[in-house]
A and B are shown apart, each in its own frame.
Chain A
Amino acid sequence: MLSYILDRLKSSIVVLFVVSVITFFVLMIIPGNPAQLILGTDATPEAIQELHAAMGLDRPLYQQYLSWLLDLFTLDMGSSYVYGESVTALIARSIPVTFSISIFAMVMAVFIAFLFGIISAIKKNSIADYFSRSIMQLGAAIPSFWIGMVFIVYFGIKLRILPVSGFVPIEQSFAGFIKSILLPSVVLAIGEVGTLLRIIRSSMLDSLKQDYMDMARVKGLSTGKTYIKYALRGALTAPLTIIGMQFAKLAGGTVVVETIFALPGLGRMVLTAVEHRDIVLLQGLVMFITSTVIIITLIVDISVMYLNPRIKSFQQGEL
């Protein structure tokens, strides 16, 4: 178990290193002179040259990479020219936004998907099953920007019970915080719940067909034990992996929803960085998002292994 985790950690570090190389060099060779961008089109060539040197951009690329990498270890990712602030501070400020709507959305999606996925697998062709199938289709068919707009018009403008844009930090007002993330989270949850429900339902159906369910029935266990301890236990691996992937996707920034609801999250920051060719900011964001995804995947893989411990090596001694 421990050696598996260590193995995975090692490979994660290798992946991060490779990503850092690619991020750095690909973004560096993109046309466009950062100094020129900062100073604007009417700057003199001398001024641009001067800034270029001051930013260390005249050094060989590998030297620039090494110093960037070393700075990374001290969480110094340089400063953004668009915002005029340190990238670390900028990211730290948008994390609460993106993470709170992502977590809230996933909690809702997971809850609904498990509830209806399990019921619809156990009671196939029941009303709950039809309802679940509608959720699966609607979630996949309706674009999230459209739901977002409908929500804004209905809850924000017509009923006036929820804010239509902006983010209220939790330390400022808890109620305000919940109100500000509710609609965006619901929109995100609708986008994810269908896929997850489908996976849970089919894993459950598969698990219900296994021989161990016959045994649970013969043992005459309570319904809860039979369906949760035995059936669900055998059906968790795939949903867990999907939940990890979905959360990783959301945590990396949710451009559309953040834009519709004017939330200052990671997704919007990526968009800004790209629009303004803010290379330093973009490098920092890519590194941060990649690390997040890698960490989430690692956690999921470890949980999956814990659930399904066949990966573990064992010694079958004399019994």
Chain B
Amino acid sequence: MNETVVLKDLQINAGDNILVNKTSIVIEEGEIFGLVGESGSGKTLTAKAIINLLPKGLSYSADEIITAGKNMLTASAEEKKEHIGKNIGYIPQNTVFYLHPMIKIKNQIGDGYVYHMHKTKKEALEKAEALLYKVGFKYPKIVLNYYPWQLSGGMRQRCNIAMALMNDPKLIIADEPTTALDSTVQRQVMDLFRTINEEMKLSILLISHNLGLVKHYSHSLAVMYAGQIVESGYTNTVFSNPKHPYTRLLIEIIPSFKIKKDERLAEIPGLAAENGRDIKGCVFFKRCPKAMDICKEMVAEHIDDKHDHYYRCNLK
């Protein structure tokens, strides 16, 4: 068993306010790992903690962060930078400004490849061209000569995807990678992810609001709620036998499997807590249809022997 990512007991704070709490994730090598949850539940921050990209104002602590084989808690800043740059591809959630607006695609898509893989710019452009073709551009040469603002949102997203794939990384973090894409291109990109995942044993952390997508493509998944992971495990297991009431509601109530982006779930009454994410009891208490008195005081963690199904709930 080889893990690409081990995250143990992550906590992220903004001053006194806890944003992410008691979050643990294990992504096996060659696995597509889905991370789902409502807007604001802490998915992006969790992903950023893995790649040392948390915004300056936030502080974090964790028992363990291992990213593509390197211990992020003991590595020096320079080591982290080199390691992440070489081994991880990052597809940010909102790609509009992640490409430099004043630099042509060809001058920014390959510089990481040139730097880490010791290639020439020409080799980088050849690789970029091939990847751009794979993400659905019919004429990648033209795209390379464009500035980002000459491309639509979906095109920029695909450029970011191609850029993330340049180094043949060990891990790709894809934060809502297909939101700006229409359904055909979305399929194409997701199938590409699956192909490279299978061919190159590359691990993918797939963050999405789209439960259907995660169900279809991921091997394992975690459900996040108000800064905590409430349930995780193999995708088949979780979908066939959801334990946490929140997971159940997500699966049962929303037939389309789509949690609307930037919207709270109307189907489940109440709101995900913005504050008080460090309470002793269950974070879902206020909205839970099956809440019991004890849920205010404590919450039981269930981990089965094979570590393949985890949930935090007092229900049996």
Interface, chain A (partner B; CB < 8 A): 210-212, 214-215, 217-222, 225, 229-230, 233-234, 307-310, 314, 316-319
A118–B259 Cα gap in the complex (Å)?
44
Chain A nearest Cβ from B61, distance in angstroms = 21
- The answer to whether A234 and B102 have CB atoms under 8 Å apart is yes
Q: Would A211 and B94 be within 8 Å (CB), given that A308-B102, A314-B150 are in contact?
A: yes
Provide the residues of chain B in CB contact with A308, threshold 8 Å. Answer: 102
Query: Are A234's CB and B143's CB within 8 A?
Result: no
Query: Are A218 and B102 also in contact (CB < 8 A) when A211-B92, A318-B138 are?
Result: no
* Contact, CB under 8 Å: B51 / A218: yes
B142 at the interface (CB under 8 A from A): yes
Interface residues of B in 79-94 (CB under 8 A from A): 81-86, 88, 90, 92, 94
Within 8 A of A (CB), among B131-146: 137-139, 142-143, 146
Question: Is B102 a contact partner of A319 (Cβ separation < 8 A)?
Answer: no
In the complex the two chains form, is B147's CB within 8 Å of A309's CB?
yes
Q: Which of B85, B96, B97, B111 contacts A229 (CB 8 A)?
A: B111
Q: Tell me, rounded to whole Å, the shortest Cβ–Cβ distance linking B155 to chain A.
A: 7
Cβ contacts B243-268/A at 8 Å (1 or 0 each): 00000000000000000000000000
Docked pose: A108 CA to B53 CA in angstroms: 38
Nearest A residue to B138 by beta-carbon distance?
A319
Q: A309-B147, A314-B150 are in contact. Are A217 and B100 (CB under 8 A)?
A: no
Contacts of A309 in B (CB 8 A): 102, 147
List the 3 closest A-B pairs by CB distance, nearest first: A220-B85, A219-B112, A211-B97
What CA separation (Å) do A230 and B103 show in the bound complex? 8
| Alpha-carbon separation in the docked complex, A24 to B88 (Å) | 68
Q: Are B115 and A233 in contact (CB under 8 A)?
A: no
Whether the pair B142, A222 counts as a contact (CB closer than 8 A) is no
- Complexed CA–CA distance, A225 and B84 (Å): 16
In-complex Cβ contact of B115 among A215, A220, A316, A317 (8 A): A220
Query: How many angstroms from the CA of A210 to the CA of B148 in the assembled complex?
Result: 15
With A and B bound together, what is the CA distance between A233 and B100 in angstroms?
A: 9
- The contact of B90 among A218, A229, A310, by CB within 8 Å, is A218
Interface size on B, residues (CB 8 A): 36
Contacts of A229 in B (CB 8 A): 103, 111
Say if the beta carbon of B234 comes within 8 Å of chain A.
no
Known contacts A218-B53, A233-B103; A211 and B98 CB within 8 A of each other:
yes
Q: Is the CB–CB distance between B139 and A214 below 8 Å?
A: no
CB contacts (< 8 Å) of A307 on chain B: these are 102
Cα–Cα distance between A309 and B149 once the two chains are bound (Å): 10
Determine whether B307 belongs to the interface, using a CB cutoff of 8 Å to chain A.
Answer: no
| Shortest CB distance A306–B (Å) | 10
B99 located at the interface, meaning its Cβ lies under 8 Å from any Cβ of chain A in the complex = yes
Q: Do A219 and B111 touch (CB < 8 A)?
A: yes
Indicate if the CB atoms of B112 and A214 lie closer than 8 Å: no
Which residues of A lie under 8 Å from residue B90 when comparing CB positions? Answer: 215, 218
CB-defined A-B contacts under 8 Å, sample of 9: A217-B81, A218-B51, A218-B84, A221-B112, A225-B115, A230-B100, A314-B146, A318-B138, A319-B155
CA distance A214 to B91 in the complex (A): 11
Q: Apart from A221-B115, A308-B102, what are 15 other A-B pairs with CB-CB below 8 Å? A: A211-B98, A217-B53, A218-B85, A220-B116, A221-B112, A229-B111, A230-B100, A234-B100, A307-B102, A310-B147, A310-B149, A318-B138, A318-B139, A319-B138, A319-B143
| A210 to B102 CA separation, bound complex (whole angstroms) | 13
* Chain A residue contacts of B88, Cβ below 8 A: 218
Task: Give the chain A neighbours of B83 by CB distance below 8 A.
Answer: 220
Q: How far is the CA of A201 from the CA of B239 in the complex (A)?
A: 53
A221 contacts which chain B residues (CB < 8 A)?
85, 111-112, 115
Distance between Cα atoms of A213 and B51 in the complex (Å): 14
Of the listed residues A314, A316, A319, the one surrounded by the most CB atoms of chain B closer than 10 A to its CB is: A319
Q: Are A212 and B99 in contact (CB under 8 A)?
A: yes
Contact in complex: B150, A316 (CB < 8 Å) = yes
* Contact of A319 with B137 at beta-carbon distance under 8 Å, contacts A215-B90, A221-B112 already known: yes
B102 cross-chain contacts in A, Cβ below 8 A: 233-234, 307-309
Contact B98 A215 (CB under 8 A): yes
Which of the residues B86, B92, B147, B150 comes within 8 Å of A220, measured between beta carbons?
B86
